[in-house]
Amino acid sequence: MELHQKPTMKVAIYSGTIPATTFVEHLIRGLAEQGIEVYIFGKVKKPYRYESKHVHVFPVPEGKLALVRFVLKSLVKVLLTAPQLLAVVRKILQQGKERSFTEKITYLGRILPVMLHPPDIFHIQWVKAIDDFMWLKTELNKKVVVSLRGAHINYSPLADPELAAKFRHFFPDVDVFHGVSRAIVKEAEKYNLDPVKAVVINPAVDEKLLLQVPKTNFKARPLQILSVGRFHWKKGYDIALDALNIAKGKGVDFIYTIIAGGNYEEILFQVNSLGLQENVKIIEGLPHHEVLQFMRTSDVFLLPSVEEGIANVVLEAMGNGIPVISTDCGGMAEVLVNRKNGLLVPVRDPDAIAAAVIEFTELSDASISKMIEEARETIRTNHVLSNQIASFMALYTQVIAPISNG
């Protein structure tokens, strides 16, 4: 779609926490730079300031007493400014009769700020929150956009029949779905998603990464291997350790660094049982800019995941000029072409990961440099923020068109 002028609209980017994850924050800032009035609702997890006058924050307080006061004040505001919405509040609460008093207060804390400051488009970043806000469409005739990412579609509804039923019930009423990959849109079709309503907008990274000068020496030993992501079974760290143990047995000298948050007791046990204490280093999370700095010191980035949408951290590694070895999970094959812009291996296959690590150590500098340049061209062409923001602008403009024309 060709945009002749910037649309004037109010778009809520909802993740439930302030600030949100890095890629959501990129979206918020990018939209604000284009003059979109961006509304942010949720709980403030740490101090955070938006520079743009186009970003409007409506925080929900922490603590039971503060939340009760907040809800009461918000109800009074609804009564004074939009009394007709009290009927909507009553109807919403009646639909959730099984909720306890505390759950109802918490729910009102989430929805009342949205009711008092309704956007034109409400964009839900995490699909599990879909049932909290579909009243915007059914009761206020606002547009609802839902993003489809990773775990929330790929395995959560498989493990939770109630969640699967919730998706099947609400998906037909969503205006537009944003999928991070073609693979995840296909997966969501199991839950009554109409593919005609889905738009694929791939994850993206800051173009500034492409200004970094890539490493040229990958022959130093030990080989510096890096993985980034929370400790969770879907990240496949146990498989990576088995793979690197195989590679060690075949003569590969390496240091494997995992930057991750969460409980890693099980991983520590595996490291010790495999005798990899001298080969594995765990860093308990770093700020995003420090992760990028650390990445530039690595020789190869390893994504051993069982499940992903499209991993942003892989895109960042590619943009940074770090070669990537990734499993063929989720939409990763939509980014990586094996032996062209990275190495792609089957999921849950430690032997294949080990073989890829060994193959990488045997590549010539020229072959590695060519792979890096192909990877950076992939990012330059398909995964830069400016293009992503333009795609979201087009999506929102298309969604809001019936209102604008009406």
Q: How confident is the model at residue 124 (pLDDT cuts 50, 70, 90)?
A: very high
Q: What is the pLDDT of residue 401?
A: 80
Q: Whole-model pTM?
A: 0.91
Q: What is the pLDDT of residue 1?
A: 39
Does pLDDT of 192 surpass 50?
yes
Q: How confident is the model at residue 347 (pLDDT cuts 50, 70, 90)?
A: very high
Task: Compute the average pLDDT of residues 172-180.
Answer: 97
What's the fold here for domain 207-382? Rossmann fold (3.40.50)
pLDDT tens-digit readout, 40-49: 999 998 888 8
Q: How confident is the model at residue 219 (pLDDT cuts 50, 70, 90)?
A: confident
Give the rounded distance of the alpha carbon of 120 from its chain centre.
Answer: 23
Q: What is the pLDDT of residue 299?
A: 95
Does pLDDT of 405 surpass 80?
no
Q: What is the pLDDT of residue 3?
A: 44
Task: Find, among 62, 126, 323, 315, the residue nearest to 218 by Cα.
Answer: 323
Listing from the earlier edge strand, what are the strands of the sheet with 254-259? 280-283, 254-259, 223-228, 300-303, 324-327, 343-345
Task: Compute the average pLDDT of residues 337-361.
Answer: 98
Q: What is the pLDDT of residue 403?
A: 52
What's the fold here for domain 10-60+120-204+385-405? Rossmann fold (3.40.50)
Task: Compute the average pLDDT of residues 112-138.
Answer: 96
Peptide bond into 161 cis (omega under 30): no
Q: What is the pLDDT of residue 293?
A: 92
Percent of the chain with pLDDT over 70: 97
Q: What is the maximal distance between C-alpha atoms in the chain?
A: 74
**Do the domains 207-382 and 10-60+120-204+385-405 match in fold?**
yes
SS3 (DSSP) at 30: helix
DSSP label at residue 213: P
Task: Find, among 325, 314, 268, 310, the residue nearest to 291 by Cα.
Answer: 314
pLDDT tens-digit readout, 72-91: 999 999 999 989 889 989 88
Provide the token pair at 313: 């951290």
Beta bridge pairs of residue 344:
326
Residue 280: enclosing H or E segment and its boundaries?
Answer: strand 280-283
Domain ranges of the chain: 10-60+120-204+385-405, 207-382
Q: What is the pLDDT of residue 91?
A: 86
Does pLDDT of 188 surpass 80?
yes
Count, in order, helices (H) and strands (E) of the chain.
17, 14
State the Cα–Cα distance between residues 366 and 371, nearest whole angstrom. 9
Task: Find, among 164, 149, 113, 115, the residue nearest to 135 by Cα.
Answer: 115
Q: How confident is the model at residue 4 (pLDDT cuts 50, 70, 90)?
A: very low
Q: What is the pLDDT of residue 402?
A: 58
Q: Which single residue is written with the structure tokens 């439930």?
A: 16
Q: How confident is the model at residue 379 (pLDDT cuts 50, 70, 90)?
A: very high
Residue 183, CA distances (Å) to 130, 148, 191, 200 in order = 21, 10, 14, 10
Does pLDDT of 2 surpass 80?
no
Does pLDDT of 32 surpass 70?
yes
The identity of residue 116, as a single letter, is L
Q: What is the pLDDT of residue 66?
A: 95
